[in-house]
Amino acid sequence: MATQTTSPTLLSPFELRDLSLKNRVVMPPLTRGRAVDRGIPNDLMAEYYTQRAGVGLIITEGTFISNQANGWVNAPGIHTKEQTEGWKKVVSAVHAKDTPFFLQLWHCGRASHSSFHDGKLAVAPSAIAINEEYIHTPEGKQPHETPRALETEEIPQVVEDYKKAAENAKEAGFDGVEIHSANGYLINTFLDSKTNKRTDKYGGSIENRYRFLKEVVEAVTTVFPANRVGVRLSPNGVFNDMGSPDYRETFLYVAKELNNYGLAYIHIMDGLAFGFHELGEPMTLAEFRKVFDGPIIGNCGYTQETAEAAVKDGNADLIAFGRPIISNPDLVDRFANNWPLNADPDVKIWYSPGKEGYTDFPTYQESLVKS
């Protein structure tokens, strides 16, 4: 069961299974595109994560489990020796701040392009293209392509890729891993009936559509114990052209099944700031609390006030802050002292190649000195 104090607050400590967190603020996965050399993490990334190590838990940006998984320019990987060695430096820097650090395992699936794969099509559960205007590729903006449906006999190798990536994450020193099953990437497209039209054991019923995630969870938990493995879900999400009419039935089933493993947490993108498919009423953390006994992370569009309310009412144990943590490396101190937040940065600089919009945001105390 999730550990709770008599009157939990966002800044109170939390026992995440066997990990002691200094507060309940989480830095979620935030793709920033600074791994410019073959997906190898670097000193700039170490500085970025260390700046934000005042939070209770850091989850890395999405990290590719294989070459096939790649689909974002200059995002990091965890499938080569060089990438693993690069992450070791980042992990060491964060651990020096006494902050637990999880790596997010990522496969883009159909949200990729042949230009990432030497002309080979991206893979997906079914050959259904993203109905959006374009994708950013190594060759600039390109129209979305129709992916290739994975053959049934290919799927065990993809599961093995997740396991191997988890092994590399463990070697790099991470405390745990998060399986990315959200935002229209590979696992999410297996879960959603809109994107999964398979007729084999991985398609059709909810049970079958869940099978791929189940196999990934069971593979990864042979590397890390279940209490060091989290899963991220986006039941309300429309990102990458997602959203199925049976979303509520699907995601409550998935959460109920995941409850059997004693996972570190489920990470629910319940907020609507990332878009909403509008196929019914938004799913809430309270719905997931009824079927999942373990720790729950809420995410997407939270303010300090709404986060405090979610923790106080017991529907969330932890809250992840995306945009605020980008522009406020000292976010926890600002919350603790009622200091104002920096203005949201221009999205155009989020993915620039260097420090701008990455490690150059001032802390509150630094901004006082500059003024």
pLDDT tens-digit readout, 115-173: 999 999 999 999 999 999 999 999 999 999 999 999 999 999 999 999 999 999 999 99
Mean pLDDT of 33-61: 98
**Domain of 356: which CATH number?**
3.20.20.70
Reported as a single tens digit per residue, the pLDDT across 172-218 is: 999 999 999 999 999 999 999 999 999 999 999 999 999 999 999 99
Q: Is residue 305 situated within a structural domain?
A: yes
Q: Show which residues are catalytic.
A: 185
Mean pLDDT of 315-321: 97
Q: Say what the pLDDT of residue 5 is.
A: 44
Residue that has been written with the tokens 């209490």 in this structure: 227
Would you state the structure tokens that stand for residue 212, as one six-digit string?
């791929």
| Count of CB atoms situated within 10 Å of the CB of 305 | 9
Mean pLDDT of 266-291: 97
Average pLDDT, the chain: 96
b/e code 141-160 from CB counts within 10 Å (16+ = b) = eeebbebbbbeeeebeebbe
- Top pLDDT among 273 and 230 is at 230
Rounded to the nearest angstrom, the gap between the alpha carbon of residue 2 and the centroid of all alpha carbons in its chain is 20
Check pLDDT > 70 for residue 261: yes
What confidence category does residue 87 fall into, taking pLDDT thresholds of 50, 70 and 90? very high
Pairing, β 318-320 against β 296-299: parallel
| 232 contacts: CB under 8 Å, gap ≥ 6 | 29, 104, 178, 179, 180, 181, 182, 266, 267, 268, 269
Q: Is residue 308 situated within a structural domain?
A: yes
Q: Is residue 1 situated within a structural domain?
A: no
Check pLDDT > 90 for residue 2: no
Q: Is residue 233 situated within a structural domain?
A: yes
DSSP 8-state symbol, 77: B
What confidence category does residue 371 fall into, taking pLDDT thresholds of 50, 70 and 90? low
Mean pLDDT of 93-99: 98
Q: Helices (DSSP H) in the chain: which residue ranges?
A: 43-51, 81-95, 155-172, 186-191, 206-220, 247-258, 285-289, 304-312, 323-327, 331-337, 364-370
Q: Say what the pLDDT of residue 191 is.
A: 98
Q: Is residue 226 situated within a structural domain?
A: yes
Q: Is residue 142 situated within a structural domain?
A: yes
Q: CA distances (Å), 350 to each of 128, 148, 346, 359, in order?
A: 30, 31, 7, 11
Rounded to the nearest angstrom, the gap between the alpha carbon of residue 264 and the centroid of all alpha carbons in its chain is 14
Mean pLDDT of 236-262: 98
Domain residue limits at 310: 14-370
User: CA–CA separation, 26 vs 292, rounded Å?
Assistant: 19
Q: Residues 68, 205, 112, CA angle at the centre, nearest 5°?
A: 20
Axis crossing angle, helix 43-51 with helix 81-95, rounded to the nearest 10: 30
Query: For the chain, what is the domain count?
Result: 1
Beta partners for residue 16, in sequence order: 19
CA nearest neighbour of 55 among 87, 97, 88: 97
DSSP 8-state symbol, 100: -
Mean pLDDT of 35-48: 97
- Top pLDDT among 180 and 6 is at 180
Q: Is residue 7 situated within a structural domain?
A: no
Q: Say what the pLDDT of residue 6 is.
A: 63
Threshold 0.95, pTM exceeds: yes
User: CA–CA separation, 335 vs 339, rounded Å?
Assistant: 7
Specify whether the CB–CB gap between 139 and 119 falls below 8 A. no
Mean pLDDT of 49-71: 98
Q: Say what the pLDDT of residue 369 is.
A: 82
Q: Is residue 70 situated within a structural domain?
A: yes
Check pLDDT > 90 for residue 1: no
Return the half-sphere exposure (C-beta side, CA atoms, 13 A cut-off) of residue 61: 26
User: CA–CA separation, 141 vs 235, rounded Å?
Assistant: 28
